[in-house]
Structure 1
């Protein structure tokens, strides 16, 4: 370790990075396309569909009329953790009907002639539909009913108030926190630092040391492009940045710009080049030959490609250790969201 100067001011977020975080999601037309394929499958094979419908009807008859429990639910499913779902005959029947429909739809999709990719898309689509139609999402949820009586009806009033507020101010999506609960520089991203480099794609922040001595090799944090740099600096109690600083690491972080239509030409190579540029700035500031990299999610994907690029340019690249957070090393196992994307959509 060696002594390093600590003449760094408190960071001020750039105005161009204050835009709303980028949101990734599923395109409605892809889901509708999958739904059309499933509907066409049912029309082309009516006998097969009727056979599954008769099987479902027979099983639901045993559930509703005889009170049989044919479908065990996942004990880890928090939606149905309340014992009322098992002990109350009415709730138990409702849960069994829900699980029975879910089971039979899965069986029907598995028996269909859909291609492997379309079958995976159909399973994903009906998982979304099943989750939306879960009996736990209704006002008759036993936990909601108990709270209604315990609160003298105020829980219902609060719930309706929250729903109205979400419809008016949150695009109809259920809010998970108060928007004014977090403020950059006050309740999040409170670690002292300064913007030491800025271009059209990113800002580079260097944090003020929190130890008497620092390692000569700096650490560059590469956050995902769809999130903010301060996911690594949420609060003093759970700040990765402060942990690194207190352990003598010179710490830098990239703050990506939220792109708009003007930046539509930015691609993977653009972000890989930007990460390499940030590494060079870190080396110039610290006089270190190598830079350690910490990457999360898409940021980890970038720095993996940077590592490969540098390794191809020189036998001894100026890169130290690489640390990945939530970043799969391969993409052969396609995750649920990936199956709905069709070729050419990206």
Structure 2
């Protein structure tokens, strides 16, 4: 399925039987979706398929200045069309949703919007390295986000029509200058050493633009904390995260400098439903790309959800291995019964257009 904003990719099952309830993975709009599929060992898609899930993923289109008017309402409408396609293809009444970083914000808004418009189709919501509460001293990003700088950012993106992905990437790099700026300046520029071929670094440089309107929507969420305050509206519908009562699995990274784990933890206090919070021992990307083969992987878990994040960590138990396996067991319990895997992809009304990864990823 394809519309102006996204392509929907369905992956071929890798097991003879699959869970009846499908899984939709929503990536951030600022980067390409293949962070979930870097190679066979690191592929979250491949892992999910091996667990028997029916996997669908969104690939966002890379916008140009002609799409400057695309804001969160347009992205939610486009994602709603993708949800409709998934439910029609799988003949399921509901689905599970996964979102990371800005994709997690989008997934949360989408889930709330669907419920509040009478379509309670999101059975569970999994959020990784994602902040829904923005009013915190824990955020290193605050160094770059004074009211004046935010207003300048709005004006600049509206003038250009987009926020270039490379520009946002530089902001994130300067949040860790020793590792992400000066390290490369010394080794590559001064010493003339060629940077290593590394899939995550390639993906990180393969950024996409944000249309000006969506950029401003994200800035409003950040500056005015509109999601937590219940002040965001999509097509006249107020997004109420507290009323979103589906089960949730929330993960964060202990050394994450972009979405600090204590800020991610606040999600447990502002959304409804039964919530499990898990803390990976890694940083932002490493917490997301965390395959079971990673022998260094560790995570913390605590069924109790006190108001204070430090108190949660004090009572948490550390486990060896990746949170992926814990999440899989959690999601299997929320994916319904198993059925024979479909022999063909798509359906009569949603015929395959082309092989993955589609066309938008090359834009």
> What TM-score, normalized to structure 1?
0.41
Q: Which one has a larger percent strand, Structure 1 or Structure 2?
A: 2
> What TM-score, normalized to structure 2?
0.40
Task: State the structure with more CA Rg.
Answer: 1
